[in-house]
């Protein structure tokens, strides 16, 4: 499947919002604007509906929260069942499961937590079944099904081999107060800023999960070294700006030359990262080796040469004639 070139959609969003486009392609090639509902410029923005589900169910570690630490020892003495559920195989650190607000995201039991994932899956399956859905609902459902597998053996970190680590509360508070020159009586503002920082740190692996584990392709428009791009205010200046500024797709698909043909001939950069699939026997995610047969591999090489020829011989403003 070749993904349609969506310059007009990206252009409209960037001119309207005045910020670089951030989004995803669904496995079926549908473009998804990830700035919706948040007005941000990053995959780590937390007010997007998909991010909210991720925050609700992700497992994470807080720096210096160990099994042998004060809280771990307290749980050992007063609530050993809870301590058992906060241990990941091979780690000496406490694992917090699900983040709702501040640091209070641990459910009373794993059973309750897992049942909530299943309940959310059923909810979004019904939304989609009765045609009241959009691409965000489908995105959420794909993410929920990832969590269903990731927690099947109760150990998210072991299953995914992904560790999300955030700073402890005192360090974040200190950093926020210094950065924003807050006084002691600015408690409400401080708490809000701390929560924002916590969410940003929790979402540090969000793009990896979307791209490597559920098969979405990320779209980003940033300058060198990740610095922000300034969007022109006038539409007349936009086209030349668009072709001169970095445009990046990150994917775990193997057939990148076929899938992103239209973007590659328009000088987009496409980065390939490993894809992980769930192994039912091992009850964990494993790397998917190149699953293209010989014919598809040869076809990929042919398409690659075709793209290179077009880029070498045809100026950018005429390449749309070769779109598939």
Pair of tokens at residue 136? 């965000």
Structure tokens at 275: 């894809």
- As a whole number of angstroms, the distance between CA 275 and CA 261 comes to 20
Q: What is the pLDDT at residue 285? A: 96
Proportion of the chain above pLDDT 70, given as a percent: 92
Average pLDDT, the chain: 88
Give the three-class secondary structure for 242.
helix
Quick check: 107 and 98 in contact, CB under 8 A? yes
pLDDT in tens, 269-293: 999 999 999 999 999 999 998 777 8
Q: Is the pLDDT of residue 222 over 80?
A: no
Q: Is 315 helix (H, G, I), strand (E, B) or coil?
A: coil
The label of the residue with tokens 């700006």 reads 241
27-31, 93-97, 193-197, 261-265: which has the minimum mean pLDDT? 193-197
Q: What is the pLDDT of residues 13-45, one digit of tens each?
A: 888 888 888 889 999 999 998 865 443 445 555
Residue linked to tokens 């597998």:
149
Helix and strand totals (H; E) in the chain: 14, 10
Domain residue limits, the chain: 1-21+221-324, 44-215
pLDDT at residue 155, rounded to an integer: 95
Q: Are strands 284-287 and 276-279 parallel, antiparallel or unpaired?
A: antiparallel
Two tokens, residue 154: 């109760």
pLDDT mean over 247-266: 95
| Residues 214, 96: Cα–Cα separation, whole Å | 23
- Residue 244, classified by CB atoms within 10 Å of its CB into exposed (0-12), middle (13-18) or buried (19+), is exposed
Q: Looking at residue 212, what DSSP letter applies?
A: I
């Amino acid at each position: 499947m070749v993904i349609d070139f969506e310059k007009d959609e990206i252009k409209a969003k960037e001119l309207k919002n005045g910020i670089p486009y951030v989004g995803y392609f669904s496995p079926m090639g549908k473009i998804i604007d990830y700035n919706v509902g948040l007005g941000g410029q990053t995959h780590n923005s937390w007010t997007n509906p998909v991010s909210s589900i991720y925050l609700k169910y992700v497992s994470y570690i807080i720096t210096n929260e160990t099994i042998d630490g004060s809280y771990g020892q307290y749980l050992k003495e007063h609530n050993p069942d809870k301590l058992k559920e906060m241990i990941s195989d091979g780690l000496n650190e406490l694992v917090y499961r699900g983040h709702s607000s501040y640091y209070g995201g641990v459910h009373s039991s794993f059973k309750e937590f897992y049942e909530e994932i299943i309940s959310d899956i059923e909810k979004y399956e019904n939304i989609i079944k009765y045609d009241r859905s959009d691409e965000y609902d489908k995105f959420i459902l794909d993410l929920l099904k990832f969590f269903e597998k990731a927690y099947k053996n109760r150990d998210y970190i072991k299953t995914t081999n992904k560790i999300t680590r955030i700073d402890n509360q005192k360090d974040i508070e200190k950093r926020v107060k210094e950065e924003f020159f807050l006084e002691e009586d600015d408690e409400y503002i401080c708490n809000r800023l701390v929560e924002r920082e916590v969410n940003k740190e929790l979402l540090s692996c969000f793009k990896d999960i979307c791209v490597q584990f559920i098969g979405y392709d990320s779209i980003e428009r940033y300058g060198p070294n990740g610095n922000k791009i300034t969007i022109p205010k006038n539409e007349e200046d936009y086209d030349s700006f668009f072709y001169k500024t970095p445009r990046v797709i990150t994917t775990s698909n193997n057939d990148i030359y076929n899938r992103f043909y239209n973007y590659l001939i328009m000088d987009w950069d496409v980065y390939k990262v490993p894809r992980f699939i769930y192994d039912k026997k091992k009850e964990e995610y494993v790397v998917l080796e190149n699953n293209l047969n010989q014919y598809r591999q040869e076809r990929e090489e042919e398409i690659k040469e075709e793209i290179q020829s077009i880029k070498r011989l045809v100026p950018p403003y005429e390449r749309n004639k070769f779109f598939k």
